[in-house]
A and B are shown apart, each in its own frame.
Chain A
Amino acid sequence: MEICLRDVTIGYGRAVILRGLDMTIRTGEVFCLLGPNGVGKTTLFKTMLNLLKPLGGSVTVDGRDTRTLTNREFARMVGYVPQSQQLPFAYSVLDVIVMGRSSYSGMFTSPTRRDYEYGDELLERLNISKLRDKLYTQLSGGERQMVLIARALAQEPQFLMMDEPTSNLDFGYQSIVLKYAISLAQRGLGVIMTTHNPVHAFQCNGRVALIMDDEHIEIGPAEAVLTARNLSETYRIPIVSEMVELGGRRLPLCQPVLG
């Protein structure tokens, strides 16, 4: 299955932000979206998520134009992992995860026993069963991120769209989340994530779309796209980016050079 963008124009109302976008994301890969603040990354992300309509061109999922899909149909194909936010009401973790099942039940129904069992399965798969009966509002940022991943997976999607899944997380949770995203891709899911950290794109070892400015987007494997030159040009500061040998491992070294 693939998500296809063909000559897509994105923006709000009459304000065009990016035009002529062409990309294809397939199941089984991790696809990272990078770019400076304000370049249109979020707009692109929301357009792919069918939260915004493309102003031109077409976005298709599995060959079907997203404009013709109902929210329900879309939810069964693409799951959304938002940046975690504080909630006004204290739902239990299991309830939050089971909310992801709503595209499989009728308007007037509550989740069934099977939905809850599915939620428990996901808790175990993500190794967070101990959170099951806790209140979502009392979780740490990292725990919340894991619960939101579980909720999106409860939709049984082919694609997972993660909005800066590692922002606000400590090193431990950053690596847990990234490793899980990679393992999902290996099991056949398509994972699309926005990030501000190029190292994470290297670590995911997938393809990258680097939005350099409103006319120029580089798409390809991380090592080909996230070069020192491209990154320096994108962010307008000197950046080093190369693979280094350290203790027998090849590690990405990628950071801005200050002063």
Chain B
Amino acid sequence: MAKPADGGNLKSDRRYSNTRGAVAITAWAGVLLVALVVSLTMGRYGIPVGTLGTLLRLRASGAVPTDTALLQAYNILFLVRIPRLFLSALTGAALALSGAAYQNIFRNPMVSPDILGVTTGAGVGAAVGILISASTFFIHVFAFGLGLGAVLLVMLVARLVSKDRANTVVLVLTGMVVNALFQAVLSFTKYVADTSTKLPEITFWLMGSFAKSGNYANVRLLAVVFVVGALPLYLLRWRINILSFGDEESRAMGLNPRQIRTVVILCSTLLTATCASLCGSIQWVGLIIPHIARLMVGANNKYLFPVSILGGGAFMLVVDDFARTIPGELPVGVLTAFVGAPLFIYMLFRGKKELF
């Protein structure tokens, strides 16, 4: 058979490596790292880089600072800031990855991880929890349970409607219906909520924030969920590509598209429902980060998924830096929309050719 025109091993190695993808992954890993360090210093209580070094060295040696000012910085850094940063980075990564996977299986770059009702479901769960004055733990459990429940309901109804034909359009339509239904329940809980105590709490929850849930227990939980949910998506990333050609072509290429789609939906829902139950409703990350990643490394999930994970983490850290630093603590979900919407329009202008 014919050999590649440039022959020789070194050169042909280059023929099969995606330099742009590898560079982008490294670059975004760098961006994430820088964002993490910058975020450590930022906040209403600023910690200069020099002090940061001192504190980290102290921590490593197991000592506790004796100086009062230093002790305050130490406590803020290790008890508040670090868990919050990890929580926000993991959330950004999880949402962006779910979004990238969803866009692929629904064959539509306009899809976000909320499309099957997970965030609205979680919102209802949290609102009900708040309404009955449940403990934080049970608010999280309700939110997670109903987030998951909404998606399972969508899958069940879609399966009954489309019988043996697996139809993503039916899935999306059912998602819209269930979303609307849960939205109505949510409005109802707001309507009956006590306007001076419960309603503000529900409203604040719906806007999303890392302020309340930034502790090590939640970080550990989200980290475990991230591994469980993201690993299958990451390993399946090449096959998920093929699903953008539709079910018939995927089957003819030897895949079982329905099986892959189910795995993707379950993993993404696990990730999104956990994020939503811990941090409330945070939109836009799952929509725009995969877009930006696609502009940089192309459509192939082999590079798109890692870049979405890293970019999502970095984006969330930066947005939360603003949320934390602005006096009065802005809800991060509001900021993601403020930043995300204009960015998205800019992308539409710039990226027409590569996106559509």
Contact B253 A107 (CB under 8 A): no
Kindly state whether residue A171 has any CB partner on chain B within 8 Å.
Answer: no
Contact yes or no, B245 A99, CB < 8 A = yes
A109–B238 touching, CB < 8 Å? yes
Interface flag for B107 (CB, 8 Å): yes
Let me know if B170 is at the binding interface, CB within 8 A. no
User: Could you say which of A51, A72, A90 contacts B355, with CB atoms under 8 Å apart?
Assistant: A90
Q: Are A90 and B2 in contact (CB under 8 A)?
A: no
B356 touches A137 (CB 8 A): yes
Q: Tell me whether B254 and A111 are in contact (CB under 8 A).
A: no
The answer to whether A120 and B253 have CB atoms under 8 Å apart is no
How far is A74 from B103 in the complex, measured between Cα atoms in Å? 28
What chain A residues lie within 8 Å of B255 (beta carbons)?
71-72, 102
A107 touches B236 (CB 8 A): yes
Contact at A92–B254, with CB atoms within 8 Å? no
Q: In the complex, which of the residues B109, B246, B254 has the most CB atoms of chain A within 10 Å of its own CB atom?
A: B254
Contact flags A9-47 to B (C-beta < 8 A → 1, else 0): 000000000000000000000000000000000000010
Task: Specify which chain A residues have a CB less than 8 angstroms from the CB of B251 in the assembled complex.
Answer: 50-51, 71
Say yes or no for B354: interface residue by CB 8 A criterion: yes
The answer to whether A71 touches B256, judged by C-beta atoms less than 8 angstroms apart, is: yes
Instruction: Tell me the bound Cα distance from A111 to B302 in angstroms.
Output: 10
B346 CB → nearest A CB, Å: 19
B4 touches A120 (CB 8 A): yes
Partner of B299 from the list A80, A89, A100, A116 (CB cut-off 8 Å) is A89
For A50, list chain B residues within 8 Å (CB). Answer: 251
Q: How far is the CA of A175 from the CA of B148 in the complex (A)?
A: 54
Residue of B whose beta carbon sits closest to that of A138: B353
Which single residue of chain A is at the shortest CB-CB distance from B2? A124
Q: A108-B236, A113-B16 are in contact. Are A91 and B253 (CB under 8 A)?
A: no
B294 contacts chain A at the CB level, 8 A cutoff: yes
Whether B203 sits at the interface, judged by CB under 8 Å, is no
Interface residues of B in 1-22 (CB under 8 A from A): 1-2, 4-5, 15-16
Which residue of B is nearest A46, CB measured? B248
Which residues of B lie under 8 Å from residue A137 when comparing CB positions?
A: 356
B104: A residues at CB distance < 8 A:
89
Query: Could you tell me if B245 and A87 are in contact, using CB atoms closer than 8 angstroms?
Result: yes
Residues of B close to A87: CB separation below 8 A: 244-245
Contact B239 A76 (CB under 8 A): no
Could you say which residues of chain A place their CB within 8 Å of the CB of B256? 71
Is residue B329 contacting chain A, with contact meaning CB distance below 8 A? Answer: no
Number of A-B contacts (CB under 8 A): 104
Residues of A within 8 A of B245 (CB): 85, 87, 99
Specify which chain B residues have a CB less than 8 angstroms from the CB of A113 in the assembled complex.
16
* Cβ contacts A56-84/B at 8 Å (1 or 0 each): 00000000000000111011101110100
Nearest B residue (CB) for A82: B249
Note all chain B residues with C-beta closer than 8 A to A155. 253-254
Q: How far is the CB of B257 from chain A (nearest CB, A)?
A: 9
Q: How far is the CB of A114 from chain B (nearest CB, A)?
A: 10
Would A135 and B354 be within 8 Å (CB), given that A75-B253, A91-B300, A108-B235 are in contact? yes
Q: Point out the residue from A46, A75, A88, A125 that lies within 8 Å of B254, measured CB to CB.
A: A75
Is B72 at the interface (CB under 8 A from chain A)? no
The closest CB in chain B to the CB of A88 belongs to B107
Cβ of A95 < 8 Å from any Cβ of B? Answer: yes
Interface flag for A233 (CB, 8 Å): no
List, in ascending order, chain A residues with CB within 8 A of B237's CB. 110
B248: chain A residues at CB < 8 Å are 46, 49, 51, 80, 82
- Given A91-B300, A107-B239, A108-B235, do A71 and B249 touch, yes or no (CB 8 Å)? no
How far is B187's CA from A177's CA once the two chains are assembled, in angstroms? 59
A111 with B238, Cβ < 8 A, contacts A71-B255, A89-B299, A155-B254 known: yes
Task: List the 10 closest A-B pairs by CB distance, nearest first.
Answer: A103-B254, A75-B254, A80-B252, A89-B299, A108-B235, A72-B254, A110-B238, A116-B16, A124-B2, A91-B299
The chain A residues found within 8 Å of chain B, CB to CB, are 46, 49-51, 70-72, 74-76, 78-80, 82, 85, 87-92, 95, 99-100, 102-103, 107-111, 113, 116-117, 120-121, 124-125, 129, 135, 137-138, 151, 155
What are 11 A-B residue pairs whose CB atoms fall within 8 Å in the complex? Answer: A46-B248, A74-B252, A75-B254, A82-B248, A82-B249, A91-B241, A102-B239, A107-B236, A111-B238, A124-B2, A129-B5
